[in-house]
Structure 1
Amino acid sequence: MNDATIHPFAATSRITTGTDWTDERARTALRRILDAAIRSAMPDVVLPRYLPQRPKGKCVVVGAGKAAASMAAALEQAWPDVDLTGCVVTRDGHMAPTRRIRVLEASHPVPDSRSEAAARTMMAEVTGLGPDDLVIALISGGGSALLELPAAGLTLDDIRTVNRALLHSGASIRDMNVVRRHLSAIKGGGLAAAAGAARVVTLAISDVPGDDPLTIASGPTVADPTTAADARAIIAHYGIAVPDAVQRVLMRPPVTGTLSPRNRYTLVSTPFMALQAAASTARELGLTPLILGDALEGESRDAGTFMAGIALSARQHGVPVAGPAVLLSGGETTVTIHPDQPAPGRGGRNTEFLLSMANTLQGHEGIWAIAADSDGIDGTEDAAGAIITPTTLSRARALGCDPRACLRAHDSYTMFQQTGDLVMTGPTLTNVNDIRAVLVI
C-alpha cells in the first residue's frame, strides 16, 4: 500500500515563519495543522506498537468502523507471517487493500441489510474458539451503524427507525449509543461474549468525547453497565416515537453474557493525541497552540458563537492566549432538526459550526478557522468541513448568498461550496472525531 493511496489528504505546501500573514498563508497553515492531526491517527502509524503476543492457536480478526479496513491492512503489514482469518466491515468508500482479512462494506449513519449480514458473519467467525485462540477486534467510530444484529423480537427496520430519530433529535453520541446497545445482540459486549474462552484483544481508535470504550461503535467487546430503563429515559427525554416492538424489548428483563477474563481493550489513537500532533505542527509554524479540550459537545451553532467569542478575546486582549496563536479543540457537536422546520438544506456539524462562527465574527480581521471531521466526511456530505476567513461573509453576499438565512436553513454546505471554502479530503481511513483550529493573528 502506498502513502498516496492511504493518505489522500497530505498537504505539500511549505510555510516559513514571519509576521506577514496573508490569507493564503493562513489557509495553508490551517490545512497543515489539520493534516498533521489526521496523519497522527493513521492505523499504519499507531497500530503496530500495540499488537498483542501472538497466539498458539488461531488468530481471528473482526472489526467495524470507518477505519476498520485500514486497521486490517496495517495489521497484515505488521504481521506478514501470521495466519490471519476473519473479516471487518467499513463504510462504503472506505476500503483499503487486504489479502488475508476480508473487508465488507455497509451503510452509515443508518444500518442496512449489509450491516446485519456483517454482524452475523462475525458472530459465526468467533463462535467455537478455545483458550489458545486469539480474537483481535479492530474498532473505530461509525461501527454502531456498520455492525448491527437486532435483538430478539426486533427487525432491522425497527433499528433503522430509531436510528433516524436519534440522528435528528440532537442527542449526544453517548446517549444514542445507550439506546442502540439495548436494541442489539452484538453491541454492549455481545461480540466478545460469543468468543467464549478465547483471548479477546480490542484495538480501538476513539472518535467519542471522553474516549469511553462502551461508546466507541457501541462497545461490541465491552460489558454494558447501563440498563433498558436508561434507554427508555433517553427516548423519553428527546421525545422520540419508537415502534411498539422496541417498547416491548426495552421492557424485558436483561439478558447478560459472560466475557472472558482475558478480555483486553486498548486505545491506539484518541482525539487528544491528534490535537497534540496539531499543536506540534502549530509550533513549527511559529504559532502558540492552546488546546481548549478534546470533548466539546453541544449544538453546532452555539459552539460556533462561543468559539468566536474566545477568538475575539484572544485577538483584542491576548486572553486566553496572545497571537499569533491557534486555538485547538475536538469533540462532536450536534445539529438538531426540529420536526416543525422546513426540510433542511445541505450541511454537517462542522460547516454549521463555521457558518455560525462567521456570522458572529462579522468579518473581524486577523481570525481564520478550519473545522473538519477527521474521517473526511462531515455528516453525509462529500466535504470534510470548511475554512472561514475575514472575507467569508462579504464574498458570500457578493455571490447572492444570505449567510444568516443559510444558517437558519441548515444549508452551510451550499454557501461554502459557492465561496470555494469547502475542505475536500476524501475518506481518510481513520476517525478521531472533529478537529477545529482557530488562527488568531
Structure 2
Amino acid sequence: MNPCDHLLESFAVAVKAADPTHIIPSNLPHPPPGRTLVVGAGKASAAMAMAVENAWPADARIDGLVVTRYGHTLPTHKIKVVEAGHPIPDENGERAAQKILSAAQALEPSDLLLCLFSGGGSSLLSLPAEGISLQDLQAVTHQLLRCGASIQEINIVRKHLSAIQGGKLAAACRAPILALIISDVTGDEATHIASGPCSPDPSTFSDALAVLARYHLDVPATIRQLLLAGIEHAIIETPKPGSPIFNQVENRIIANAHQSLVAAADYFKKHEISTLILGDTVTGESREIAKCYAALTKEIRLHPQKLKPPLALLSGGETTVTLRGNGRGGRNTEFLLSLLIELSTLDNVYALACDTDGLDGSENNAGALITPDSLIRANKLRLDPVSFLSNNDAYTFFQQLNDLIITGPTHTNVNDYRAILVL
C-alpha cells in the first residue's frame, strides 16, 4: 500500500471510531414510564437520531426533533430531522430551536428528555434571546468566525445571546435529561459543545463583552445592550455549576478526538508504522501550528536518533484561521499549505489534514494531502504557495494539484485529524 493510501485509510478508521451507529446503542438508557422526547442539534444529529430509533424498544413511546446542517439529513421515522444553516444561523434553525424548547417545556417528570448534541449545534440551534433578532445574531456570528477567536470564546458570546443554550434548555424542562454528546471541542467540556444547552455555564455576560472587546468587534447595538443588561441584572444570567436545575441532568461524552486518534494509531501499528500522538487539544493559528510540526518533522527525518521512521505523527483539536485575504479554504488546507512551505523539498514525508465531519470550513472538501513532489508539481503549474497562503486560498491551491480530499458528510464530528507520515 502506498503512503497516501495509508493516510486515507487511517482517516477512515478515525471517522469510524466516532460513528454514531456503533456508539449510540450502548449509551441508551431504559425507557421511562412516560414518553421519551428526543431533541438534538449538530452535524451528527441525524445519524444519532437514526441510531436511537434503530436501537429503541419497539413498544416504547418515542418522538422528537433534531436539527442538522443542510445536506446532512438521514431517513428517520419517529424523530423528525430539520436542516438549517451552518456556520451562520438561519430561520430554519430558529424555528426548530423554538419547537425544541416548547416541546421540552411540555414534558412531565415521568418522561425523559434525550438530547443528541454534536459539533455545529451552536449555529444550528439558533434561538436569539429576547431583545435581539436573528439578523443581529447572524451579524455577530459572522464577525466572530472571521476574527480568529477560539471556539470557546465564540461560544461564550453565543450562550449569552441565546434563549436555549448555556443550560437554558435544561432550565426549561421538568423531566430527567440525558444528553449524549459527540465532542468537537478541545477539552471535551459539555458547555462548549452546541454551546451547552443542558450544561452549567461558568462564563458570564462580562466574559462575553470581554471577547467582543478583545477582537475589536463592531456588533449591533442591541447585542451590546443585552450584554450590558445581563451584567446589571444577575437574574437573567445563565444557570451556573451547582444549580439545582442540573440535579436530574447527565451530560455524557460518547465520542471524542482522542478515541479517534487511538484508533488511527492502532491502524498504523498493524502496518508496522510507529506512531506518536501529539495531542487532541491542539489550538492556535493553523499556519503557525504547521511551522511547529514542520520543525519536528525535519528533526525526525534528518536526525533520527530517538524517533525513527517509519513514523506517523498524529494530532487532533481545532486550529483557527484569521482571514487576511479573500481566497477559499479551511483550517486543514491552510495547515497543509503552510506545512508544505516549511518542509520545502524534504523527501519521504507525506501528510493529510481533514475535518472529521467531511467539510473543511465552508468548502466541499474534508481536507487535502501533500506528498514529497507537491512543490515540484506546483512549480510546473506556476502556483506560488506563499501567495496562495497570503490570500487564505489553500483550497484553490490543492484543487489545482488535484489533492483535495472529498468525502461528503460523514455524519459525525470529532474535530480535525492530522497525520504526518515520515518514511
Matches within 5 A, 1:155-304: 155-195=133-173, 197-252=174-229, 253-254=233-234, 255=236, 256=238, 259-304=245-290
Question: Quick check: 2:200–2:246 contact (8 Å CA) kept in 1?
Answer: no
Letter in 1 for 2:107: L
**Cα shift at 1:193:** 1.3
- Per-residue CA distance 1:337-392 (angstroms, 9 max, x = gap): 14xxx5x1111000000000000001200110000000000001000000001111
Q: What is the TM-score normalised by the length of structure 2? A: 0.96
Equivalent residue runs for 1:41-440 within 5 Å? 41-81=18-58, 82-195=60-173, 197-252=174-229, 253-254=233-234, 255=236, 256=238, 259-318=245-304, 321-338=307-324, 342=325, 344-440=326-422
The verdict on how the C-alpha distance between 1:127 and 1:282 changes in structure 2, with shifts beyond 3 A counting, is: same
Q: What whole-Å deviation, never above 9, does each CA across 1:177-234 have from its counterpart, x for those lacking one?
A: 0000001111101111111x20100000000011110001100111212110000111
Q: Deviations over 1:391-419 (max 9, x none)?
A: 11110111121111101111111010111
CA contact (8 A) 2:34 2:61 kept: no
Cα deviation, residue 320, structure 1: 6.3
Matched-pair contact (CA < 8 Å) for 2:366–2:405:
yes
Alpha-carbon distance in 1 for matches of 2:9, 2:57: 33
Matched residue type, 1:136: L
CA deviation digits over 1:146-184, x for unaligned, max 9?
Answer: 001111110001111100000000000000000000011
* 1:120 partner amino acid: Q
Summarize deviations over 1:316-344 as a string: whole Å, max 9, x none.
22366211110000001111014xxx5x1
- Secondary structure at the aligned position of 1:282 is classed as helix
Counterpart of 2:144, as a letter, is L
Counting matched residue pairs gives 413
- Aligned-pair CA distance for 1:315: 1.2
User: What is the percentage of aligned positions where both structures have the same residue?
Assistant: 46
Distance in structure 2 (CA, Å) of the matches to 1:359 and 1:273 = 30
> Which 5+ residue runs of structure 1 have no aligned equivalent?
1-14, 16-24
1:60–1:320: structure 2 CA closer, same or farther, 3 Å change rule? farther
The TM-score with structure 1 as length reference comes to 0.92
- Opposite residue 98 of structure 2, the aligned amino acid is R
Deviations, residues 90-140 of structure 1 (Å, cap 9, x unaligned): 000111111110000000000001110010010111112121100000000
Any gaps of 5 or more consecutive residues in structure 2?
none
**C-alpha contact (below 8 Å) 1:363/1:389 kept by paired residues:** no
- Once the two structures are TM-superposed, the CA of residue 425 in structure 1 deviates from its matched residue by 0.6
The DSSP-based 3-state class of the residue aligned with 2:94 is helix
- How far apart, in 1, do the equivalents of 2:305 and 2:415 lie? 27
Which amino acid in the other structure matches residue 58 of structure 1?
A: R
Counterpart residue identity of residue 204, structure 2: T
CA distance in 1, matches of 2:271, 2:399: 28
SS of equivalent residue, structure 1 residue 54: coil
Residue aligned with 1:286, SS: coil
How far apart in 2 are the matches of 1:117 and 1:219? 19
- 1:275 Cα deviation after fit: 0.4
Cα distance in structure 2, aligned partners of 1:363 and 1:284: 29
Deviation at 1:51, TM superposition (A): 1.0
Deviation at 1:80, TM superposition (A): 4.3
Residue 259 of structure 1 and its aligned partner are, at CA, apart by 2.1
Q: Distance in 2 between matches of 1:105 and 1:31?
A: 29
The letter for the 1-side match of 2:12 is D
**What residue is the counterpart of 1:6 in the other structure?**
none
